[in-house]
Copies of this chain bind each other. A is one copy, B any other.
Amino acid sequence: MEAGPVQETLAALRLVDHHCHGVTAADLDREGFESLITEGGVWPGISSFDSPVGVAVRRHCAPLLDLPRHASAEEYLARRAELGGREVNRRFLAAAGTDVFCVDTGYAPDRLTTPRELAEVAGGAAYEVVRLENVAEAVAAKGVEPDAYADVFRAAARDAVRRPGVVAVKSVAAYRTGFDLDPARPSNPEVTEAARRWLARGGRLDDPVLVRHLLWTAVDLGLPLQLHTGFGDSDIRMHRVDPSLLTDWLHLTSGTIPVLLLHCWPYQRQAAYLATVFEQVYLDVGLTLHYVGPARARAILEEALEITPFRKLLYSSDAYGVAEFYQLGALAFRHGLAGLLQDRVDADELSLPDALRISRWMGRDNACRVYGLPLSHGEVRA
């Protein structure tokens, strides 16, 4: 892509990554790395590198490790090991051009950097996103009476979001029940009864009444709520995570908290519809962008932006585990959005000042607005 003014603006823009995870501090062997660059598993005969994201890593990440473009997987992993995780992380996080990270700290089967560590490596600021399922499960692990569950969970959630740097909460209801839920706030007796069943049974929070209760507790907390929708690992039932299933709940909670639909693919149009008709709804296509890679990121953004008000799309990487994804997500976003906007400018369908404004909004300002972050974050540096 030749560099027009939109490309230049987006290349220089310091991004706000409104949803990501930490990066592993460990050195990774081949299996470890391959397992982190797929939403599937590590399968005999099918390398994770033989996929769109694997091709994108070899194309766009290899040069940052001083390798030629399209280096082989073997060369890539050897060089990665040679440099060591610490240096690798430093290089990719620097290349991401991201000033602010809102870090979901609730999923870490691997040992990951804390928000503070991530910010230090990247030379930016980090905020925290509290995963509410974790709070509920910690309450259960500590022990609670069923009829006290609602109060204890709410108090624990309030404590969690009062910690410095917390800007949002998140729910993975998508993974637990999907969105085909009764939208109404459950009554106290319903919650007690459901808590009784769940606490007796143990395991992760996947009771439909308690998931509903968790979503309504998010409303009470008053912070923006991030919701996983669409694409994820095999734990997802794709047909139950279409965000349009949330419509009744969005009506009931209208006028309360901002709701941020994450990932969305392949339901980016449904998410765009919700962001268009509900004042409180926003969307991103994080995770999707690095999995499809720069070759296809623009097509996804085209669909996500078909009808969407320009204030309603945010940037996120949803990077997890490998530092490559902070850079790849940012690159795919910049490349895709710039291509889309520059072509519209070139076709005289959009003015250049509008294109530049939209770039800054989507890459930075929309997130600052929703989360109340200082707009000085993400400014172009002299």
Contact = CB atoms under 8 A, between A and B. Distances in A.
Interface in A38-55: 38-41, 43, 45-46, 48, 50-53, 55
B296 A306 contact: yes
A310 B52 CA distance: 8
Contact of A239 (B48, B244, B269, B306): B244
B50 A270 contact: no
B52 A306 contact: yes
A350 B247 contact: no
A310 B50 contact: yes
A292 B276 CA distance: 12
A43 B311 CA distance: 11
Interface stretch (A123-131, A186-194, A229-237, A318-326): A229-237
A46 B46 CA distance: 47
A354 interface: yes
A207 interface: no
A354 B73 CA distance: 12
Contacts of A269: 265-266
Interface in A330-372: 344, 347-351, 354, 369
A264 to B, nearest CB: 12
Contact of A55 (B1, B40, B245, B354): B354
A200 interface: no
A188 B295 CA distance: 51
A310 to B, nearest CB: 5
A309 B56 CA distance: 13
Interface in A233-268: 233-234, 236-239, 242, 244-245, 247-248, 250-251, 265-266
A237 B248 contact: yes
A278 interface: yes
Interface of A: 1, 38-41, 43, 45-46, 48, 50-53, 55-56, 59, 69-70, 231, 233-234, 236-239, 242, 244-245, 247-248, 250-251, 265-266, 269-270, 273-274, 276-279, 288, 291-296, 299-300, 302, 305-312, 344, 347-351, 354, 369
Enumerate the 10 nearest inter-chain pairs by beta-carbon distance, A residue then B residue, closest first. A238-B244, A266-B269, A70-B351, A234-B277, A51-B309, A295-B349, A43-B279, A40-B277, A50-B310, A46-B311
